[in-house]
Structure 1
Amino acid sequence: MSESVLVALRGVSFAYDEGPPVFTGLDFEVREGRALALLGRNGSGKTTLMRLLSGGLRPGSGELSVSGRVVRHDRKGLTALRTTVQLVVQDPDDQLFAASVGQDVSFGPLNLGLSDTEVRARVAEALAALDITALADRPTHLLSYGQRKRTAIAGAVAMRPRVLILDEPTAGLDPDGQERLLATLDGLRANGTTVVMATHDVDLALRWADDAALLTPSGVHTGPVAGTLSRRDLLTAAGLRLPWGVAAGLFLRAHGVGADTDVGPRTPEELAALAAAPEYRDRRPG
């Protein structure tokens, strides 16, 4: 898949009213087809960065571009941006407002001035992608937390964005809910959507992402996920711990196992499979 730059911030500086700078001279890219995890301590600027990328905040200086074209922060420019980039906030109750699931998901497409036929097609497509077709007529106030999360994401997916930005999408979900959501995101990616996820979960980032962006006091450090999340200096600066998979990989390589891998097992299931492999069983004493 192509890895061209879809969305970019160039030389961006931003500060809230009467506050210190959050970013100064920031350069940041979202590349097509790469799952990107944003990580950092509370107050590091993750939410600000996501809102700058989605047009919710306007840079004090510098520019936002989509596919190389500078975005104008006027009504026409932002409307065009939101057909390419969609942000789903952490709390679905901040995003849901319509009486039913179907009505909520249809809001964005309706505001694009699409025909009723096109709106219905987009709503059906988004509900199916999030596996909530059966909830189309369900009042939003009767949904479970996980169902509200999925409905909020479906509303963004109905806009058919090229980039979907999610703020802590797995927060508050039980393990089964997390697995179902990750499977959904895999399906969206397979259909061409580039996904950016803000998370505090380094193990999730290591398992799910292609690239990681660590927000530290010295700036944003971006690179392939395995290498980036193996940098103890960057993790410490970002207020994060070493991922479980990286630590397990270090232990295994110290014992001559898995030396040809970049990081080691990314999930307990991968570790269990490695332990059951003949080449590892042969190393056991006795």
Structure 2
Amino acid sequence: MNAFPLTSDKVNECIRGFEVLGFPQCLGAMDGSHIEIKPESQNAVDYYNYKGWYSIVLFALVDYRYRFLYINVGYPGRVNDSFIFENSSLKSQLENCVALEDKSRVINGVKIPVLILGDSAFRFSTKVMKPYPYDENASIGQKTFNYQLSKCRRVVENAFGQLKARFRRIGKGIDNKIENVNSIIRSCCVLHNFLNDKNDVVEKSWVRALKKQHLVSERQQPEEVSVLNDGDLNAEQIRRCLATFFSVSESSDVDIGSIGGEEHGDSNDVSFDDGAWSDI
């Protein structure tokens, strides 16, 4: 699944969608989710993540309506999200996407390109915005920036939550042969997008069942934090500009629960991801 090369209409739609959520100039949010598997013993060590269980990584870029724009599935659990992104076709496609080139917008005198939202695991750049590191003396602007980014980045966590709630094979773990795992995950992602476009509702009972399963299994998602290579001055100028923008803008009052109007109510706000293989 790969929405690239993006069309101008798709980019405009995503930007407008994230503006409603409260973040300007945003195409999507990216993250990885670990899915439990049962590898054969001779290959098991590669899939052993640092939380102490065997997993495969579903890495995704998600739009404002929880739809997968891009997925990369197949890296073993020991591989971190930043490495996957840096070595994926997504990065090169973002850098060479014609539809993104003319969508920059000047905010408070600074040219802001179309951005991707990531968590602290990713490398900071003019394409990838991440939160300010924790600081007890952070300014109001920095705190507001982190709040807005975290709130809008929930779309990717909610997409993973919906996927796992709809398809219990994904949520509780895949016990099929390892060579079939990638195809199963891909198929579920395609069906997820189809159901999302049809405004299919994720039943609350599915969410409760999956949350209960996670509590019983204690399968916490591995968390990553990186401050390496965060010295990009151009990226910092963009982040500082947005921090100022958020601190004085009414957009900071936008509630992510308003996503997509009535057809995306509370029942679809599903998030419980605490916290070379196949490029599609």
| TM bin (shorter chain) | under 0.3
The one of the two structures with greater contact order (alpha-carbon pairs below 8 A, sep at least 6) is: 2
Q: Which has the larger radius of gyration?
A: 1
Structure with greater proportional strand content:
1
TM-score normalised per structure 2: 0.27
Structure with greater proportional helix content:
2
